[in-house]
Amino acid sequence: MERAKKMGSEIIRMKIIYVDIDGTICHSKTDKNGKWDYNLSEPRYDQIEKINKLHSEGHEIVYWTARGGTTGIDWGRHTKQQIDNWGCQYTRIETQKKPHYDLFICDKTKRIEEI
Ligand SMILES: [Mg+2]
């Protein structure tokens, strides 16, 4: 289903945009034992602003994360609270569906620095 929006004389196709969290809109850190501790994550407000702009333009923003994917720890509630506190605007969050991987190769990807 394609949605479109008219902005001035321009017609913009609304996109469904999946946005990674760790390393993308925040800096994530490990604890003293080397395990990821998302309580220590620090927001990258300059990057969050870019995503908020896309959301305000009408694009569907889905924050998704593999947090807990290998440990089984459910970071869902914490993640929602965290990104709400950082002022992130979004359509929904998916915390259980993203697979854990080391490299993602796809023709539709961009690093947030490229946006
Ligand atoms: Mg990441």
Sorted by where each starts, the structural domains of the chain and their CATH numbers stand as: 11-101 (3.40.50.1000)
C-alpha 43 to ligand 1 mean position (Å): 13
Half-sphere exposure of 83 (CA within 13 A, CB side): 30
- Answer yes or no: are the C-beta atoms of 112 and 25 closer than 8 Å: yes
pLDDT range class, residue 2, cuts 50, 70, 90? low
C-beta separation of 91 from 60 below 8 A? yes
Report the separation in Å between the CA atom of 3 and the middle of ligand 1, taken as the mean of its atom positions.
28
Whether the per-residue pLDDT at 44 is higher than 90: the answer is yes
Gap between the Cα atoms of 2 and 79, Å rounded: 29
Task: Compute the average pLDDT of residues 38-62.
Answer: 96
SS3 at position 51: helix
Beta-carbon contacts of residue 7 (< 8 Å; ≥ 6 apart): 57
Lowest mean pLDDT among 84-88, 89-93, 96-100: 96-100
Q: Ligand 1 centroid vs 8 CA: distance in angstroms? A: 35
pLDDT tier for residue 17 given thresholds of 50, 70 and 90: very high
Bridge partners (DSSP) of residue 19 are: 63
CA 113 / ligand 1 centre spacing (Å)? 13
- Residue 1 confidence (pLDDT): 57
In angstroms, rounded to a whole number, what is the distance separating the alpha carbons of residues 42 and 40? 6
Section 37-63 average pLDDT: 96
Q: Which of 32-36, 59-63, 66-70, 75-79 has the highest mean pLDDT?
A: 59-63
